[in-house]
Each structure stands twice: as C-alpha cells, then as structure tokens.
Amino acid sequence: MPILIKQATVLDKNSEFAGKKVDIMIDGGKITEIKKSISPKTNCKIIEGDELYVSNGWMDMQSVFCDPVLEHKETIESGLKAAAAGGFTSVCVHGYDQCSINNKSTVEYILNKTDKLVDVVPIGSITVKTEGKELAEMFDMKTAGAVAFSDHKHPITHSGLFIRAVQYANNINSFIIAHCNDQHISHGGQMNEGETSTSLGLKGMPAIAEELMLERNIGLLEYAGGKVHIPTISTAGSVDIIKKAKAKGMNVTAGVAAINLMYDDSMLNDFDSNYKLDPPLRTKKDVEALRKAIENGTIDVIVSDHNPQDTESKELEFDLADFGIINLQTTFNCVAEAFKNHGLEEAVEALSNKPRAILGMEQRAIKEDADANLTIFSIKQTSTLSDKNNYSRSKNSPFLNKTLQGKVIGIINGGKSSFNA
C-alpha cells in the first residue's frame, strides 16, 4: 500500500528539501513524489501528527545481540524488532566473549537472519574470542560481509597487536573500532571517578583511563597509517584529543553513547545498576562538552550502545552487576532531551548520514525516485518504554515505564514499513 507522509520537515543535508516542510509519497519502496502538498489519488496509509520530521533511515554503529550462544539475553530477531521500534533501519552488530564474531560462518549466520526491514551490518572481532592475543580471520570475515572489526568493550592493550590490526584492516580496505579504557588504571572501577563515587564509596573509573588509551591509539594510528573509529568517548578531555587529531588530518572518527548526552554520574546516587555503564556516566561538564562536540562535528556519530543483560547479571549488589543497558528503543529519547533546544539537525546527521559515511556506504538523499529508507519522528511528542512494547528479551533499562521526550513514528526500508502505536 502507498504511504503518504504529511507535513514533515526534512532533516537531511544531502537533500534539496532540507529544512522544508513537505508531503512525501512512497509507493513500491520508492519516493515517488515530494511536494508542499499532495492529495492522495488512491487508497494509501497517511502518516501525520504534531511537528513531524523525516530523515534518512538511522544507522546504529554499536549494538550487541548475543546471538548465537546467549539467546536468552537477545536474539537477532528480537534485536531487530527493537531497532525498528527505535527508528533504526540499519544496525551494526558487534560480538564479545562467547558471542564473538570470529569467522566467516558467524558473519554469514548473522546476515542470513536479517528481516529485510532493518539491515544488519556485521562487525567482526579483531582478535580471536576478543581475548586480545591473536588476530582473528579478518580477511575471511571481510569477504563474507563484515564491514569493520571490533573487540567491543575489550581494549587492545598490546601496542604491537594494535598496529598489526590497523595495518591489516587497511590492507583489506577496512578499519578497526577501538574501545578506549586503560584497564590497568580503571581495574575494578564501577562508575566515574569523582565526587559522586567518593560519596557513594564506589571505586572510580578515572577519565585519564580513557584519555591515555585514546592518546596511545591515535599515536599508533599516526605511525601505522589506516583508519580508526573510537566508538564511545565520554569525557571533555577525549573531545579535545579527537579535535586535535582531526586538525592534524588523522583518519579518526568518534562516537558517543546516547545516554552520555543525557545524564551525568549523579544518576547513580540510588545505586541503580541500570546506570552502570562502560564508559560510565561522567560529570555535567563532560555531558555539555559531548553535546557541543556533536553540534560542531568533533564527534561524528551517536550510538545506542545496546548491551542486553539478563536479570541474574543486573539485579545484584552494584559492584557485582554487569555493565550495560538496552537502548535501541530509547536512543532517540536521549537525543530529543539533549537537543530539544538546539542542535537537532546535527544530532540527526549523527544518527543517519554520518555512520554510513564512516562505513564507506553510498550516501542517501531524500529525493524523488530514490529508494525509500526513512525514519519518521517527532521531538514534541512523548513515548514510554514498557513491558508491553519492549521488544528486547532483556529489561536492563533505566527508562522502563518512564515517559520521555520524543517519539519515533516509524521506519520505511526495502519496500517494508513499521509504525509505532
């Protein structure tokens, strides 16, 4: 059935309609017409509402689906449903530990699970079982469909191995995604090191643990050549390091977890383990620096950092609980809250066009005769994640049953569509 989007403002810097409020007709998976006003000539589904926006479909560069092996936490099918509800038409799937993406067969398994509504982009492991000891079968995974390589939350501590990984990935026209956390400094840390951690009596994860490893990785990149993406920076110091590296012409890009744009470490005052994250929630000063870095382009992308954990991993004493939250369905709520006053256009670019640019994918534009790969959303409307509409198999979210700013109306991709109630 044709779909008519009524009076939506286009947020797409690649489009001639950028910033304009238009009607968009989609038929047969194509954008057939874009005008100031369109009167439907046939039966069609009409999408309308308060202050609608439309952009190119969002891409999440950092999610974990735990499939195969830990499917009780998340399957590819449940993860893709959560992604669709959260406005994502494409998701980069990372592996770790038992769920690491080590070989060609695992990459093919993930690709064969796609539902064609949300595209799956496998991220292969840099090292075998993400243990940081020996390089995984990067070439075989690349030929099978892996677009980049990451050990997820496991930093590559061995400098020589890091250099070899960067050089090898570059030789096969790819790159590595490197989490920055010097675990010799942050070992045993539960949250950001600062006044809040001291008052709570929790061991801290100091900003310098992230910043030192970031400096090291950029220094090694400068020596080795190639390209490196830093998935989730969290401090004002890291923003400055990335800014200086880019000014020198280094081929480095960076992301930030959506929740780090919304909350600071004071959220841990009640010892809610759903706020136990890696990287951790930092200070108000860091949050403001991260927001500004999205607006000025120092940080390239915003990610969900979706990391499902079962009840047995989270409902424990705080220092025993695992890190991570589910956030595919609430990423936009974090963005809407962080950029409700200004910066929304840049934030949406960081969800849509910029991830594809980093991955070397074809740039899309909202125009007539283009394939319809779209996300429709409202910053004015609100939404609530509940047990009823949570599509993840896990429930480790601090946002459950909370009404939040922003609402994803739906997505269109590959001739398919999905809309939220």
3-state SS assignment for residue 270: helix
The span from the first CA to the last CA of the chain, in angstroms, equals 18
Instruction: Report CA Rg, the chain.
Output: 21
Q: Is 310 a catalytic residue?
A: no
DSSP-assigned letters across all residues of 332-348 = HHHHHHHTSSS-HHHHH
Q: Tell me which of 67, 305, 371, 387 is the catalytic residue.
A: 305
Cα torsion through 229, 235, 241, 244, rounded to 10? 100
Classify residue 101 by burial, with Cβ atoms within 10 Å: 0-12, 13-18, 19+: buried
DSSP-assigned letters across all residues of 200-215 = HT--EE-HHHHHHHHH
**The residue count for the chain:** 421
Q: How many CA atoms lie within 13 A of 383 on its CB side?
A: 25
Residues 6+ apart with CB under 8 A from 310: 72, 73, 394, 396
- Catalytic positions are 305
